[in-house]
Structure 1
Amino acid sequence: MKKIISTLVVAVVFLAGCTATTDNSYLEPLHTAKLQSILIVPVNNGTIDVQAPTSVLATLPFSLAEKGYYTFPVHTVKTILESEGYYEAAEVHAAPAENLAALFGADSVLYVTIHEWEAKYVILSTTTQVDFEYRLVDKHGEQLWHARKQLAYSPQQQNSTGNPFADLIAMAITAAIERAAPNYLPLTRTANAEVFYGLGTALPPGPYSPAYQEYYRQLELQKAN
């Protein structure tokens, strides 16, 4: 059953590549590298919310594991980096990628920067917005992949009772709740999913994905034709 599902997934991926106008040439370095492991380093925070990097970092390993890549435990990574004198994310991002990869024996390094992480309140509406930049380099520091994702979420726009007065009250309450405690995690997971699986940015399946063998078999067939 898993083999059938994997075949279908790969077929859909290749069909999408054939029918869409999206340029998939960005995949060539990834196909050549055939990465097995990804070192996720501390997230660089360009916002004033000190909790933002922790939330983003918590979502990345699962998203990449779903794609079939081995990711190093983020807490272990943080501890080892600090033992090497890297206490700030900005310092880690400025360090030579080959040094970071060598510390863990990683094939590649993933850098993520948060450009926006805020909830904007306007009268009866609160919109939570995120803006993430992703950069994947190999163990020699050569860039393999780059993507940027911006998403916004407005919970008060999701439902309507059909009663304008009741809707206004509901919107005000929902907006106030979202403003007081913005729900960033679902938005962050969605951003990761859209980047790692989306058209024009999707990563190929990693070696621990059931789709891996069939994906590269189809790729070889395409090259042969």
Structure 2
Amino acid sequence: MLEKILKSFVCLSLAVLAAGCAAPVKQLDYTAFKQSRPKSILILPPLNESPDVKATYSMLSQMSYPLAEAGYYVLPVALVDETLKQNGMTAADDIHAIAPAKLQEIFGADAALYVTVSKYGSVYTVINSAVVVTANAKLIDLKSGELLWSGSASASSAEANNNSGGGLIGALVAAAVNQIVNSVSDRGHDIAALTSQRLLSTRQPNGILYGPHSPKYGTD
């Protein structure tokens, strides 16, 4: 009987270890990216799949910096947005449906960044309240329409929370306070900045490649 229990324990332990060992990250194929080597990037207004109407422009305002830091010329997002509006394009899904060649003709950029925001805003559970922003992106060559790169990222205000000191009551009070704070302030804007950094960083696994204005251009 003891032997059977020990065998079961060993099997269970091995299963837990196997589950705990994260599968290796699949290496992204950068062949098309390296052949295209875009110099300028057009950021399109993100699609918003969250219930918060602020998600599109909150993310849009945050993505130029990490791309510029990576070494790319980024077309001014306010100018791009106004140009699209002047041409009757106000909905992100309609903008994303414009043919890449047409976008290249209008803006002259080498590539366009298509972003979708799947989560933006407060998530409330019994003992926690957090602001979460999750997005995915695709970089498309505007001349060929070919996919150059894709990625996803998420960030949460709960990453820095520590509710262990006050017990259950303290956690419940902290969650209620956080919920009120999240409701009266746009903490999502700050979390969107962190999501954008993670999404478009050259330092992340399978991250975007360095651009031509970076001293590290061509080393990745």
Q: What range describes the TM-score normalised by the shorter chain of this pair?
A: 0.7 to 0.9
Structure number with greater Rg is: 2
Q: State the shift of 1:40 in Å.
A: 0.5
Structure 1: segments with no counterpart, 5+ residues: 1-19, 220-225
- 8 Å CA contact 2:126, 2:172 repeated in 1: no
Q: State the shift of 1:43 in Å.
A: 1.4
Q: State the shift of 1:186 in Å.
A: 2.8
Kindly tell me: are residues 81 and 132 of structure 1, through their superposed partners in 2, closer, same or farther at Cα, counting changes over 3 Å? same
**Which string of whole-angstrom CA distances, capped at 9 and with x for unpartnered residues, describes residues 109-168 of structure 1?**
11111112131223442122222120110012111111222333327x624584546665
Match of residue 106 from structure 1: 109
In the alignment, the residues of structure 2 paired with residue 160 and residue 154 of structure 1 have an alpha-carbon distance, to the nearest angstrom, of 10
Mapped pair 1:206 → 2:214: no
Letter in 2 for 1:189: A
In the alignment, the residues of structure 2 paired with residue 25 and residue 45 of structure 1 have an alpha-carbon distance, to the nearest angstrom, of 26
Kindly tell me: are residues 139 and 175 of structure 1, through their superposed partners in 2, closer, same or farther at Cα, counting changes over 3 Å? same
Q: State the shift of 1:25 in Å.
A: 4.1
**Which string of whole-angstrom CA distances, capped at 9 and with x for unpartnered residues, describes residues 189-211 of structure 1?**
22222222354331111111121
Kindly tell me: are residues 121 and 170 of structure 1, through their superposed partners in 2, closer, same or farther at Cα, counting changes over 3 Å? closer
The ranges of structure 1 where at least 4 consecutive aligned residues each deviate by more than 6 angstroms after the TM superposition are none
TM-score of the two chains, using structure 2 as the length reference: 0.77
- 8 Å CA contact 2:113, 2:139 repeated in 1: yes
Letter in 1 for 2:191: L
Match of residue 16 from structure 2: none
Q: Trace 1:74-223 onto structure 2 (pairs within 5 A).
A: 74-140=77-143, 141-154=145-158, 158-159=161-162, 162-164=165-167, 169-197=173-201, 198-212=203-217, 216=218, 218=219
In the alignment, the residues of structure 1 paired with residue 123 and residue 175 of structure 2 have an alpha-carbon distance, to the nearest angstrom, of 14
What is the root-mean-square deviation of aligned Cα atoms in Å? 2.5
- 8 Å CA contact 2:136, 2:199 repeated in 1: no
Mapped pair 1:64 → 2:53: no
Q: State the shift of 1:54 in Å.
A: 0.9
Structure 2: segments with no counterpart, 5+ residues: 1-22
Kindly tell me: are residues 117 and 162 of structure 1, through their superposed partners in 2, closer, same or farther at Cα, counting changes over 3 Å? closer
In the alignment, the residues of structure 1 paired with residue 74 and residue 141 of structure 2 have an alpha-carbon distance, to the nearest angstrom, of 14
TM-score of the two chains, using structure 1 as the length reference: 0.76
SS at match of 1:92: helix
SS at match of 2:61: helix
- 8 Å CA contact 2:153, 2:195 repeated in 1: yes
> Identical aligned pairs, as a percentage?
27
Kindly tell me: are residues 171 and 45 of structure 1, through their superposed partners in 2, closer, same or farther at Cα, counting changes over 3 Å? closer
Match of residue 37 from structure 1: 40
Letter in 2 for 1:122: T
Q: Which has the larger helix fraction?
A: 1
SS at match of 1:131: strand
SS at match of 2:63: helix
**Which string of whole-angstrom CA distances, capped at 9 and with x for unpartnered residues, describes residues 17-67 of structure 1?**
xxx954434222211111100001111112222111110000001111010
